[in-house]
């Protein structure tokens, strides 16, 4: 009896003897999946990205991965339609401390305007702590959420519980204010990180009970932080998340699509022992200009994932994609490596390039050429 895509993926990550190498594009944007299905003459469900990718994965013989929410489960903001207008979307999160409010620019979105992030003052951290303390009130919704995910995907792929982003305060603070608050309200900031960590463990525990395949975390690369800051702030939480997951027989997934070469070559990533480490990103997304060299600095027990250049995949020719995919496979031969992309596959990627990547990766990984 043949193994399911989920079984193949997990067997490879767990280093089961004879497990087939995995090919798994990283979260291709829905329009790319739809366009590729049409290119192959296959049906498209306009509003079901999960079933679309499952169908595409079957057609191209790859093992898909899906990623759930996590920060949104901890901080379930709800729109206040009565107060929203043409310029602003108002959100509220009701707590026992009172309502916590925020507004987001319709034109710029949360990431285009710092005012959309709710943590602006030291007092806002008290609301953050309160929300995390009340996470148990949402167990029913969280459990239903994960159960529905497992039902949708079945055994057609693996599911990763998304990154809580502890050191980014779960997207509740802007990148600029993150630095100011860490320096000006150090003790308060650490309390907020610890509260998010504990709330994330609650979410992870339910996710694992409902059949999620990986817990995960992510942090900035050297484009945003220094090695010393990584050691002080990120590494302890990565170690705690990985240890907690492994103690329960689970698998821990680490994502960093930035500049990671120094973190890899200094051995820092080996210290927290992720089961999957992605994306070993090349320029311009990251700074790993030699995938094979970076891979050799990582513990052999770590299964890496990546790292086809997204610009090549979107803007290059089929011949470019084939050439770089073969080079990627050759660079990690002898190591467990999931053949994937440097980050989420960009909208606008031609279907022919998507097909060429997957088919070339599969052929080269299995046949050694």
9 located within any domain: yes
Domain count, the chain: 1
Q: Is 119 left (phi over 0), alpha (psi -120 to 50) or beta?
A: beta
Reduced to 3 states (helix: H, G, I; strand: E, B; else coil), residue 255 is strand
In a domain, 130, yes or no: no
Please list the residues that pair with 217 across neighbouring strands. Answer: 254
Q: How many CA atoms within 13 Å lie on the side-chain side of 229?
A: 14
Q: What is the mean pLDDT of the chain?
A: 96
What's the confidence (pLDDT) of residue 114?
82
In a domain, residue 60? The reply is yes
pLDDT higher than threshold 70 for residue 270: yes
Q: Is residue 108 part of a domain?
A: no
Q: Is residue 34 part of a domain?
A: yes
pLDDT for 369: 54
Between β-strands 158-160 and 65-67, what pairing exists: parallel, antiparallel or unpaired?
parallel
Is residue 60 within 8 Å of 22, Cβ to Cβ? no
- pLDDT over 90, % of the chain: 94
Q: What is the mean pLDDT of residues 331-354?
A: 96
Q: In the predicted model, what is the mean pLDDT of residues 265-292?
A: 96
Q: Tokens in use for 72? A: 């949104």
Q: How far is CA 346 from CA 41, 52, 310, 312, in A?
A: 21, 16, 7, 11
Task: Kindly write down the DSSP assignment for every residue of 130-157, as one continuous string.
Answer: HHHHTGGGGHHHHHHHHHHHHHHHTTSS
Residue 59, Cβ neighbours under 10 Å: how many?
15
Checking if the pLDDT of 197 tops 90, the result is: yes
pLDDT score of 11 = 98
pLDDT of residue 142 exceeding 60: yes
Q: What is the CATH number of the domain that holds 292?
A: 3.20.20.210
Q: How far apart are CA 77 and CA 124, in angstroms?
A: 15
pLDDT computed for residue 128 by the predictor: 98
Q: Is residue 167 part of a domain?
A: no
pLDDT at 46 over 90: no
pLDDT tens digits, 63-109: 999 999 999 999 999 999 999 999 999 999 999 999 999 999 999 98
Residue 31 has pLDDT above 90, yes or no: yes
123 found inside a domain: no
Q: What is the pLDDT of residues 187-196, one digit of tens each?
A: 999 999 999 9
- Burial degree of 218 (CB within 10 A; 0-12, 13-18, 19+): buried
Q: Tokens at residue 178, please? A: 């993150």
Question: 240: domain range?
Answer: 5-68+212-367
Task: Please report which confidence band the pLDDT of residue 366 belongs to, taking 50, 70 and 90 as the band edges.
Answer: confident
Inside any domain, residue 288: yes
pTM: 0.96
Cα-based angle 87, 91, 96 (whole degrees, multiple of 5):
155
Q: What's the longest Cα–Cα distance across the chain? A: 62
The pLDDT assigned to 362 comes to 96
Report, as an integer, the average pLDDT of 53-72.
Answer: 98
């Amino acid at each position: 009896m043949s193994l399911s895509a989920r079984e193949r993926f997990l067997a490879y990550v767990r280093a089961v003897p004879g497990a087939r190498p995995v090919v798994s594009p990283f979260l291709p944007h829905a329009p790319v999946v739809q366009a590729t299905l049409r290119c192959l003459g296959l049906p498209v469900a306009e509003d079901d990205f999960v079933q679309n990718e499952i169908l595409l994965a079957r057609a191209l013989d790859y093992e898909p991965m899906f990623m759930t929410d996590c920060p949104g489960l901890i901080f379930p903001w709800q729109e206040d339609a009565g107060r929203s207008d043409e310029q602003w979307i108002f959100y509220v999160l009701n707590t026992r401390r009172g309502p916590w409010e925020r507004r987001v620019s319709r034109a710029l979105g949360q990431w285009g305007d710092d005012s959309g992030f709710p943590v602006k003052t030291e007092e806002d951290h008290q609301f953050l702590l309160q929300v995390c303390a009340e996470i148990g009130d949402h167990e029913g919704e969280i459990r239903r959420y994960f159960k529905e995910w497992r039902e949708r995907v079945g055994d057609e792929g693996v599911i990763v519980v998304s990154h809580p982003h502890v050191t980014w305060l779960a997207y509740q603070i802007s990148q600029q204010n993150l630095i100011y608050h860490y320096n000006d309200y150090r003790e308060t900031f650490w309390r907020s990180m610890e509260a998010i960590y504990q709330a994330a463990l609650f979410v992870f525990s339910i996710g694992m009970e409902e059949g999620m395949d990986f817990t995960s975390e992510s942090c900035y690369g050297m484009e945003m932080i220094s090695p010393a800051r990584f050691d002080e702030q990120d590494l302890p939480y990565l170690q705690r998340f990985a240890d907690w997951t492994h103690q329960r027989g689970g698998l821990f997934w680490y994502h960093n699509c930035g500049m990671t070469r120094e973190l890899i070559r200094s051995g820092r990533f080996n210290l927290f022992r992720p089961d999957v480490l992605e994306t070993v990103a090349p320029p311009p997304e990251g700074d790993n200009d030699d995938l094979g060299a970076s891979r050799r600095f990582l513990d052999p027990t770590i299964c890496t994932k990546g790292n086809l250049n997204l610009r090549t995949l979107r803007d290059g020719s089929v011949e470019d994609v084939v050439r770089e995919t073969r080079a990627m496979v050759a660079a990690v031969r002898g190591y467990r490596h999931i053949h994937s992309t440097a980050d989420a596959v960009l909208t606008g990627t031609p279907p022919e390039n998507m097909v060429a990547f997957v088919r070339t990766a599969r052929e080269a990984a299995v046949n050694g050429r």
